[in-house]
Structure formats: structure tokens, C-alpha cells
């Protein structure tokens, strides 16, 4: 029995499908990390140097000018070179090698900071890199209190922070914290030491409100609340530092308050808008918090009064109750009463006199 003959179009379609399948066949993908600015050479698996191959980057064919035999050579790589590279054998398009290139840098010395904003519960440490590496980094932190290593519980968010609970209060033994950062291109580390009291720094006061004082053009009343993160203000009271200035000036005025969460400013400029902020600090230890969110307020001002003279009142009243009536014609001199030869009879009216004087009635 004769075998069926396939049409030419079906053969061509089958060939295209085969090539597509070969170009997208599964092969273990390697990850290759290279330093920014380096020259990179990739080998096509176990293929000979003089074998005919084709390289692609993210699915796009690479020009042969970048090949040295079967090797792919990339000069002075930058971030745009990162991506998936694949090598195929000759015209058969058998996938021989593929890798994911990631271009980056080794880490610089990390920046590490520790602070207690909820004393006496504990403290936290946070860190960051001064410049990005563009590739994944792994951080490891070690906290020592004398010979004892403490647990640093990492936060889910932000990821670059962890918390440590105080196991002993009022200790004179210093804490030592070491942070190490590692990636595929290198590693770096930093270490800080500190005493328990030195890192105490509350969060800024909250809900700061400022308002004018009625009938007092130079006073502003300011109120605020303790930071919600400060756990025991009764046992560990805070003191406050208030600063204020009118918007028209750059120089701040300051007031330090040993207790209470309110203050009345008594030397404000009347009618000038003020900007006000408050900071907090433990009464005995640590450093001042950052400044609170700025609030604005303007001292009380008296409503302007409309002054009126008696003449203005009379004029307003007349104008509002009557309308203009032209003056009646009045004879000042009766020509018939004039006796004598050569006398000139004159007759004027009030209207003619005013007209002569340049007064125009409208």
C-alpha cells in the first residue's frame, strides 16, 4: 500500500512548528551575575569554538559582530544588558545553552542605625545601602550585649528593620550591633556600639493644635499629645520643646517646657500667620525627637468698625427719603415797579443766577 503524500504547505507548517518548539524547548536556565562595566564572555554550552551557532537576547537574534567563534562577547556591560540569553546550534535550532544575565555591583558599606522610641520596652535597628546594587542582597544582623547574643525579630514591613527587647534595664554594658550585606558580586559590613540611654529618642508629639485666643491679639494657644509609641509617660515623663515664628520671618522663637502638653504664646505679632512645631524628649536620658508636623495659626484680630459722621448720616437719610425738586422761579425785582426815565428793567430767577454761576442741574 502506497504511503500518502502530504501537501507542500503542510510540510512547511510542520517545519515551522518544529523550529518554534526547538527554540522554546525547556533547558535549565543559569543565572549569571556580572559587574557593571565588565566585559562578559558566554560559551554556548559544550559546543566547539568554531561551531556554527546563533545567539538571542530576550528572544531577538544577536548580530554576528558580537560573536567570537561560538562565544558571545559583550563589552562594557550596563543595566540594559540584563536579560535572557540563549544559544542554538547552527540551522537546526537545537537549544544548547541559556542563561539569565544580571548586571550589578557589589555592596558598599551599609548604613546602620539603632533607636529606642518605646523605652523601656526595647529598641529597633534599621539599615539601608547608600547606593543600589541592582541585584539581590542578603542582610545578616547580630546584636550582642556583652557576651550574650540577643534575638532581633525582623519586621515583615519594612524588611530592613528588626526589634530587640531589653532583657536588663539601666545596664552600663554596651550593645554591639554588626550588619553584613552579601550578594553574588561581593560583601560588606559595618558595626556600631552604644549604651542603652544613648539611643533613646521618642517619636514626635501628635495631634498638635494651635488656635487664637479671643480678645487677645498677641496670644496663641497650642496643645498636643504624647507620642502614642511612648508606653509609660507616667513612669518615664517627657519634656517638650516648642518653636514658632511668623511666616514673614525666618528666625524661630523657642520655649522649653518641663511638663504639660499645652502652652500659650504671649508675644505673637498681631494679625500675622504663625507656623508652630513641637519636639519631645525623655526628662533625663536620650535625645530630642524630630519635629512634629507643622501647624499654622493667626492671632485674634478685632473686626473693623465702619465710622460715620453726623453729616454723612444726615445726607444718607435725606437721600434715602426724598428726591430732587427743581427750585421755583422767584422774582427778585418787578420791572413794573421800577419808575423813572432810562431805567432798565431787570428780572432774574434763582435758576438763572445759578446757571450764570456755572451750576448745572441734572
Question: How much is the pTM?
Answer: 0.70
Biggest CA–CA distance in the chain, Å, is: 165
Positions of the chain with pLDDT lower than 50, given as ranges: 1-6, 8-25, 318-362
Interatomic CA distance for residues 303 and 105, integer angstroms: 66
What pLDDT sits at residue 308?
58
What pLDDT sits at residue 307?
59
What pLDDT sits at residue 338?
37
What pLDDT sits at residue 22?
46
**Nearest-5° angle of CA 347, CA 352, CA 355?**
160
- Provide the sign of the torsion angle of the four alpha carbons 45, 51, 52, 57, taken in this order: positive
Interatomic CA distance for residues 260 and 221, integer angstroms: 13
Which 3 state secondary structure label does DSSP give 32? strand
What pLDDT sits at residue 157?
80
Decide if 65 contacts 75 (C-beta within 8 A).
Answer: no
Whether the ω angle into residue 275 lies within 30 degrees of 0, i.e. cis, is: no
Give the residue from 266, 343, 254 showing the smallest Cα distance to 291: 254
Q: Counting beta carbons within 10 angstroms of the beta carbon of residue 166, is it exposed (0 to 12), middle (13 to 18) or buried (19 or more)?
A: middle
What pLDDT sits at residue 245?
98
Which 3 state secondary structure label does DSSP give 55? strand
Cell numbers representing residue 67 in the block: 560573536
Amino acid at each position: 500500500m502506497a504511503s500518502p503524500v502530504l501537501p507542500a504547505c503542510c510540510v512547511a507548517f510542520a517545519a515551522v512548528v518544529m523550529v518554534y518548539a526547538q527554540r522554546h524547548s525547556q533547558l535549565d536556565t543559569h543565572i549569571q551575575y556580572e559587574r557593571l562595566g565588565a566585559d562578559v564572555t558566554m560559551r554556548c554550552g559544550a559546543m566547539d569554538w568554531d561551531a556554527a551557532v546563533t545567539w538571542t537576547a530576550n528572544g531577538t537574534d544577536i548580530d554576528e559582530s558580537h560573536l567570537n567563534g561560538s562565544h558571545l562577547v559583550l563589552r562594557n556591560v550596563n543595566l540594559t544588558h540584563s536579560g535572557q540569553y540563549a544559544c542554538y546550534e547552527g540551522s537546526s535550532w537545537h537549544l544548547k545553552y541559556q542563561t539569565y544575565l544580571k548586571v550589578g555591583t557589589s555592596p558598599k558599606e551599609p548604613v546602620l542605625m539603632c533607636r529606642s522610641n518605646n523605652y523601656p520596652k526595647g529598641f529597633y535597628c534599621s539599615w539601608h545601602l547608600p547606593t543600589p546594587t541592582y541585584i539581590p542582597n542578603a542582610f545578616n544582623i547580630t546584636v550582642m550585649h556583652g557576651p550574650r547574643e540577643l534575638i532581633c525579630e525582623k519586621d515583615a514591613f519594612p524588611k530592613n528593620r528588626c526589634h530587640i527587647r531589653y532583657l536588663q534595664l539601666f545596664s552600663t554594658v554596651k550593645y554591639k550591633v554588626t550588619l553584613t550585606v552579601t550578594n553574588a558580586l561581593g560583601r560588606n559590613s559595618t558595626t556600631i556600639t552604644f549604651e542603652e540611654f544613648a539611643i533613646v529618642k521618642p517619636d514626635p508629639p501628635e495631634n498638635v493644635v494651635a488656635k487664637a485666643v479671643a480678645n487677645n491679639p498677641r496670644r496663641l494657644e497650642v496643645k498636643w499629645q504624647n507620642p502614642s509609641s511612648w508606653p509609660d509617660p507616667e513612669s518615664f515623663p517627657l519634656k517638650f520643646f516648642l518653636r514658632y515664628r511668623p511666616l514673614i520671618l525666618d528666625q524661630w522663637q523657642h520655649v522649653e517646657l518641663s511638663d504639660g502638653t499645652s502652652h500659650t504664646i504671649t508675644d505673637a505679632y498681631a494679625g500675622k500667620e504663625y507656623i508652630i512645631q513641637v519636639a519631645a524628649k525623655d526628662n533625663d536620658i536620650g535625645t530630642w525627637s524630630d519635629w512634629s508636623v507643622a501647624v499654622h495659626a493667626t492671632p485674634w484680630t478685632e473686626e473693623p468698625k465702619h465710622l460715620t459722621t453726623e453729616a454723612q448720616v444726615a445726607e444718607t437719610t435725606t437721600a434715602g427719603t426724598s428726591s430732587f425738586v427743581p427750585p421755583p422761579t422767584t422774582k427778585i425785582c418787578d420791572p413794573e415797579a421800577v419808575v423813572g426815565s432810562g431805567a432798565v428793567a431787570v428780572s432774574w430767577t434763582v435758576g438763572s443766577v445759578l446757571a450764570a454761576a456755572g451750576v448745572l442741574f441734572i
